[in-house]
Structures are given as C-alpha cells and as structure tokens.
Amino acid sequence: MKALFKWTLTVLLLSLTAGCSSMKIQDYANETPKLDLFAFFNGKTQAWGQFQDRSGMVLRRFTVDITGTLSADKTQLILDEQFLYNDGEKQTRVWTIKQTQPNQFIGTAADVVGEAKGQSAGNALNWAYVLDLPYKDSSIHVNFDDWMYLHDDQTMVNRAAVTKWGFKVGEVTLFFRKPTLENSAP
C-alpha cells in the first residue's frame, strides 16, 4: 500500500511540474526592439487589461493610467498606477523600481509582499512576486509570474500567471501604450 501511495504521489507531482513554465529570460536575448524599462515607463503610459480565471473566463476588465518618474540620478523609477475596473472600483498601486545590476531589477509596492524580482533580456522582462490580493473580507497572497514583451517603442504586452500553492488560479493580460505626440496634447 505504501508503494502504491508513493508511486501515485510521484506521478501527481511530476504531472504538476510538467505544466510549469520552461521559459527563460535568456530565450529573448536577441529579440528586438531592446527593452529599456526606465525609458519606456518614464512619463505617461496607458494600459488596458483583464483578469481571467483558470478556465479562461474573463472576470474583470480594467484600465490603468500610469505616471512614471525617474529619480534625478536615474537609478530609481516610481510608477504611479491608477486603476479603474469595469465595476467602478478604483485602486492605486505605486511601484518603486531599482536596477540592481545590468538587466536585474527589484520592485516594491504597498501590496507586494517583500520585493518583486525582475530580469530583462532583449525585448522581454520577467517579474516574480507575491501580491497581497483583496479577497472577500480579507486578503490572500498569490504568486505572479509576470512576462512583459516590448513590441515597438510605444507598445508592450504583459501576461501574468497567477498561482496559489502552485496551482494556477488565473491570468492577467495587459496592453501598455505610450501616447503619441498628437494624442498627448491637452
């Protein structure tokens, strides 16, 4: 009986890990245009996105107005994100992002547990962090495996897998767009 239990547990664990992402940031090292995180988010950026549950059903849609400000010494980026959800809820998240080494970043925000760790290569950036997500009358900690891809100087696509205890609970899809000069005039 013990052998059957161990065999079943082993098969279960192997099947769970087989579904894990095998993407590596270095897979994108030769992709262009090259992402400069601080340059892309400096100034105004708009975003549109949605949260899908694990079956793919869209549960919430949102827009985000983002203002990025570089520190005087250009070693830190502050991202002020103003969310508006399709149900009327508003939310603010302020990120502080620092480059620790070439292509290595850390980020903090009030609802991020500890530090977000980021790596970039080519046109891509991968963030890994734990978010304290409001849920019913409390909150839960969920893991984000966040991938951002620069398409051109004004457009970035973001996909994030959201997991809890190793199980996928949902996915966030987000599109960022820098305003063009004619669209940024008052």
pLDDT tens per residue across span 110-169: 999 999 999 999 999 999 999 999 888 999 999 999 999 999 999 999 999 999 999 999
Spatial CA neighbour of 68 closest among 100, 45, 36: 45
Residues 6+ apart with CB under 8 A from 51: 58, 59, 60, 62, 162, 170, 171, 172
- Which homologous superfamily does the CATH classification assign to the domain defined by 41-179? Calycin beta-barrel core domain (2.40.128.20)
Confidence band of 16 (pLDDT split at 50, 70, 90): very low
Domain boundaries, the chain: 41-179
Confidence band of 8 (pLDDT split at 50, 70, 90): very low
Query: Has residue 86 got a pLDDT over 90?
Result: yes
Query: Has residue 12 got a pLDDT over 50?
Result: no
pTM of the model: 0.85
Query: Has residue 69 got a pLDDT over 80?
Result: yes
**What per-residue confidence (pLDDT) applies to 67?**
99
Cα separation values, 87 from 62, 109, 113, 148, Å:
9, 24, 26, 26
Place of tokens 């897998």: 161
Which tokens hold the place of 69?
């400000």
Query: In degrees, to the nearest 5, what angle opens at C-alpha 21 toward C-alphas 25 and 131?
Result: 85
Query: Has residue 107 got a pLDDT over 90?
Result: yes
- Which is more confident, 87 or 182? 87
Answer positive or negative: Cα dihedral of 36, 37, 43, 46.
positive
Q: Which residues pair with 161 in a beta bridge?
A: 145, 171
Query: Has residue 31 got a pLDDT over 60?
Result: yes
